[in-house]
Amino acid sequence: MLNLSLNPEWRRRCDGVSRRDFLRVGALGPLGISLAGALSWKSSLAAQTVAEAAVRPARAKHVLLVYLGGGISHHDTFDPKPDAVSEIRGKYKNIPSVLPGIHTGELIPKLAKSLDKVCLVRSGTHENDHHETATNWVLSGRFGSPFGDHPSMGSIVAHETGFVGKVPPYVAVPKNPSFTWELGKSAWLGGRYESFKAGNPNDKSFKVRDLSCPAAVSPQILERRRTLLGAVDTLQRHIQGNDQLATYDEFALKAAEMVLSPEAQRAFDIDREDVKMRDRYGRTEFGQSCLLARRLIEGGVRFVTVNYGGWDHHAKIFDNLDKKLPEFDTGLSALIGDMHERGLMQETLLLVMGEFGRTPKINKDAGRDHWGRAGSLIFAGAGVRPGTVIGATDRNGAFVTERPVRPADVAFTVYDALGIDPRKILRTPEGRPVEILDQGSAVTELYG
């Protein structure tokens, strides 16, 4: 029996937009309706802005963001300072990389040998040392409150590109980065442009919930249940001004198609990978997340975020890095090498970053604290010149001395690579015009 319920209670979001509670369709759970927030492929907001779209040449079709939430220490990885005093230099020795004159920390030897395939940026910088604010800033390219005033890059990409085939446009593995508030991901774009959360592919029982047909429900039954969406059309005619309801039938239908889609099933099915390939990435959550991300890029997902947090080491940083850096080294180097071997880098922009670096001086608890003034990033693929280094920091790794790269510049570069106009005007649900980015420019040195 179809169970439809509509709660007319209004809720106030932190952006000031009032919305009715979302329609609950109890009988449609097996259709993967929980995907609806992430799977909007057509909306009134997009219709408002389609005429404003600019035609821009695209270098990339996909973006793969490896996000190091908490703030990885640049001193102990990509920007060691061997001539600094011990309180700054830290525990690790530096080792030569494949690039002449460029050294890394000793616990990332595989990445040191992979620098000829990427561009290392040693001059990421901004002026904020708070997790929430800095995270939302670097993920959106726009400075705002810690409550997430602006949509993330992934949400903007989902809005601007929509669906390619029958996979979500924006996927987070295993979930969204920490320190982003619930409304700090898609913000005023709405839940329809939120990421699809894949879960942890290293779990033995890993199966993407919304793409898994219940054992007792056949595809034929699922197909018939799609016809129940007609009930939504009836409700839509009776309730005005609810944009989520107005497009519910369309992205619910898309969710149903994904449940039945061989393309989506195949992209998320990491068990199809050879055992040796899975071992190459490392049998860790991060390693298997990188491998799943590669599969999703192959499957057509436009924007994939691999969320690898846990870098906020205010105490005993070296005890923690002793454990984390080897799995980071294995997983990321495997991803870089594998994508090159498969030719995926030609149309994929790879970006590796956190929200900030760490303080030069080791504190009294043998840790390093938050430091927005300097940090390292990696770009690769989509025309980026491999084997190059951009920017530099001073002898203590405290301040940028050459070519500062700010959050807006990173986001501008991402949008520009995808052919999205970073200055395009979008409109909020109230009709207020908002630029995707209000500042920044592309890091043109990436391309020579």
Alpha-carbon span 134 to 126, nearest angstrom: 8
Alpha-carbon span 95 to 291, nearest angstrom: 27
Three-class DSSP category at 169: coil
Q: Which residue has the tokens 């601007």?
A: 160
Alpha-carbon span 215 to 362, nearest angstrom: 54
Q: What local confidence, expressed as pLDDT, does residue 126 receive?
A: 98
Q: Judge contact between 74 and 357, C-beta under 8 A.
A: yes
Alpha-carbon span 414 to 344, nearest angstrom: 17
Phi, psi of 220 (to 5 degrees): -65, -40
Three-class DSSP category at 416: helix
What's at 342, amino acid-wise? Answer: R
Summarize the confidence of residues 82-107 as an average pLDDT: 97
Alpha-carbon span 138 to 264, nearest angstrom: 29
Tell me: pLDDT of 23 over 50.
no
For the entire predicted model, the pTM comes to: 0.82
pLDDT band at 145 (very low <50, low <70, confident <90, very high): confident
Alpha-carbon span 256 to 251, nearest angstrom: 9
Alpha helix (H) ranges present in 210-349? Answer: 219-225, 230-238, 243-260, 262-268, 275-281, 285-299, 317-341
The Cα-based distances of 282 to 101, 183, 333 in angstroms read 29, 33, 10
- Which of the following CATH numbers is that of domain 58-211+274-447: 3.30.950.10, 3.40.50.620, 2.40.30.10, 3.40.720.10? 3.40.720.10
Residue 234 corresponds to which tokens in the numbers above? 């009836």
Alpha-carbon span 90 to 102, nearest angstrom: 18
What's at 406, amino acid-wise? Answer: R
Q: Judge contact between 73 and 311, C-beta under 8 A.
A: yes
Q: Judge contact between 397 and 105, C-beta under 8 A.
A: no
Residue 242 corresponds to which tokens in the numbers above? 């609810």
Residue 55's Cα: distance from chain center in Å? Answer: 24
Alpha-carbon span 144 to 253, nearest angstrom: 35
Looking at every residue in the chain, the average pLDDT score rounds to: 83
Q: Please state which of the ranges 20-24, 134-138, 272-276 shows the lowest mean pLDDT.
A: 20-24
pLDDT band at 391 (very low <50, low <70, confident <90, very high): very high
Q: Checking phi first, is residue 398 left (phi over 0); if not, alpha (psi -120 to 50) or beta?
A: alpha
pLDDT, tens digit, for every residue of 315-369? Answer: 999 999 999 999 999 999 999 999 999 999 999 999 999 999 999 999 999 999 9
Radius of gyration of the chain (CA): 22
The Cα-based distances of 18 to 10, 85, 159, 241 in angstroms read 6, 55, 21, 11
392's CB contacts (< 8 A; 6+ apart) are 122, 123, 400, 401, 402, 403
Q: What local confidence, expressed as pLDDT, does residue 10 receive?
A: 31
DSSP string, 274-294: -HHHHHHH-SSHHHHHHHHHH
Q: Judge contact between 392 and 123, C-beta under 8 A.
A: yes
pLDDT band at 99 (very low <50, low <70, confident <90, very high): very high
